[in-house]
Amino acid sequence: MRLKESSSPASAAASPAPRTAAGKAKPAAAQAPVVAIVGATGAVGVELMRCLDVRKFPLRGLKLLASARSAGKTLPFKGEELVVEELAEESFEGVDLALFSAGASVSRQYAPVAVGEGAVVVDNSSAFRMDPAVPLVIPEINAGEIARHKGVIANPNCSAIVAITPLWPVHQRNRIRRLSVATYQAASGGGAAAMDELVQSTRAYIDGRDYEPRVLPHPYAFNLFSHNTAIDPETGYNGEETKVMNETRKIFGDPDMRIGATCVRVPVLRAHSVAVTFECERPIAPAEVRELMRHAPGVRLVDDPERNRFPMPREASGQDDILVGRIRRDLSDPSGRSIALFSAGDQLLKGAALNAVQIAERVLALGPARA
Ligand code: NAP
Ligand code: 2RA
């Protein structure tokens, strides 16, 4: 089974759909796909496996791929130990769906190979996100984009997903014309090694031992710092901030939206938080936003001023939903058009693995293009 014919960038020619003995293409539901996870040993890769399992994603086979460092290791899946293979050009033979989470350079090199073998690629890296030919998808917002894929579908930046998934119902009702985002990003956003660095450096700090940072650029224990991506000298914004701003406009399909972002790494193990302020075209009340959040897909309202209980990364960890609260008027805007709120979301799940599997489920529902 091949899920969709492909022809381009992230895009070589697709293999023909397998034929039955009678020479007819197999019907969409006849065969579950063979899925490959590229970066299976990483923080996102492990969650991809869990999401496939928990969501009962139909599988004919699961191939785990990583670097040479991990070749031969095993990872548990549905009670079995699956062997990790080294990623190579031949890895995608017979693969229908490839979930990439091994960094942008790996995606740039191997996603076209996978597409050339006839697989559909859902890519967690930033490699293809801003390519106009590649859909950039948060299913709660723009699932319809998936159908126009040419072999690759991009998963957005995790901070962007946590920040904007809850805003979509607001934007639909009363266009958000200006958005300001400040992130509080967890160690898990830097991968498994950054999580380990947070734990080890905190332990060293408490024990009074020196700790030389290996993964992140600054001491992490009891500290926070500007996001570890490079600053664009022209704009003064770092790579993460630039992704949040550009990707939001693409996902919302609103190139004129005015957006500013400040992205910060905080000593939280898992789940990103975001302080958001937005200005709508018309006045909007906190109660109206609260009501929209109550019904927003992928969102859970946690907004209890009496108990001072609002979204927290520890409560968001392991949760599919993005938690939203602290919904209040932005008093710096007397026009009544602006709202401030605070969100926390597990960026390994909704910010990466879960979003990718949700996309894959929709790819599957589209069926083989040539059936
Ligand atoms: P990670 O924990 O560092 O894992 C990286 C994975 O990529 C590992 O499985 C690693 O294999 C594999 N890998 C590295 N170089 C490779 C190579 N040359 N060939 C094959 N495999 C290779 O990183 P992560 O946090 O899971 O992130 C992975 C990707 O997802 C990145 O593109 C990241 O930007 C994106 N992403 C991450 C998050 C997040 O919250 N962490 C959110 C959204 C998107 P070995 O174990 O063998 O080294
Ligand atoms: C971070 N956006 O938190 C990334 C995750 N890939 O740094």
* pLDDT value for 112: 98
Give yes or no for a contact between 85 and 110, defined as CB atoms under 8 angstroms apart. Answer: no
Give yes or no for a contact between 300 and 324, defined as CB atoms under 8 angstroms apart. Answer: yes
Residue 359's CB is within 10 A of a number of other CB atoms, namely 26
- CB of 159 within 6 A of ligand 2: the answer is yes
* pLDDT value for 10: 39
**What is the chain's length?**
371
Residue 279's CB is within 10 A of a number of other CB atoms, namely 18
* pLDDT value for 31: 86
In the chain the first and final C-alpha atoms are separated, in Å, by 9
Give 225 Cα–ligand 2 centroid separation in angstroms. Answer: 14
The pTM of the full predicted model, rounded to 2 decimals, is 0.92
- Mutate-to-test residue for ligand 1 from 44, 159, 162, 240, highest number of ligand atoms within 8 A of CB: 44
Task: For 202-238, write each residue's pLDDT tens digit.
Answer: 999 999 999 999 999 999 999 999 999 999 999 999 9
CA dihedral 284, 285, 288, 289 (to 10 degrees): 80
Cα within 13 Å of Cα(222), Cβ side: 6
- Between CA 171 and CA 281 the distance in angstroms is 9
Catalytic residues: 158, 272
* pLDDT value for 288: 98
- Between CA 56 and CA 14 the distance in angstroms is 27
Give yes or no for a contact between 289 and 174, defined as CB atoms under 8 angstroms apart. Answer: no
- CB of 241 within 6 A of ligand 2: the answer is no
The edge-to-edge listing of strands for the beta sheet with 152-154 is 74-77, 80-86, 61-66, 34-38, 97-100, 120-123, 152-154
- Between CA 279 and CA 333 the distance in angstroms is 8
The edge-to-edge listing of strands for the beta sheet with 338-345 is 225-226, 258-265, 176-185, 272-280, 338-345, 322-329, 299-301
* pLDDT value for 3: 59
pLDDT of 6 above 50: no
Full set of structural domains in the chain with CATH: 28-156+352-366 (3.40.50.720), 161-347 (3.30.360.10)
Task: For 131-186, write each residue's pLDDT tens digit.
Answer: 999 999 999 999 999 999 999 999 999 999 999 999 999 999 999 999 999 999 99
Reported in sequence order, the residue ranges of the chain that DSSP labels E, i.e. its strands, are 34-38, 61-66, 74-77, 80-86, 97-100, 120-123, 152-154, 176-185, 225-226, 258-265, 272-280, 299-301, 322-329, 338-345
pLDDT of 30 above 90: no
User: What is the pLDDT confidence band of residue 11, given thresholds at 50, 70 and 90?
Assistant: very low
Mean of per-residue pLDDT scores for the chain: 92
Atom of ligand 2 nearest to the CA of 272: 3
Closest CA to 90 of 114, 72, 112, 107: 114
Residue nearest to atom 6 of ligand 2 (CA): 189
- Mutate-to-test residue for ligand 2 from 157, 268, 350, highest number of ligand atoms within 8 A of CB: 157
Closest CA to 167 of 51, 263, 259: 259
User: What is the pLDDT confidence band of residue 300, given thresholds at 50, 70 and 90?
Assistant: very high
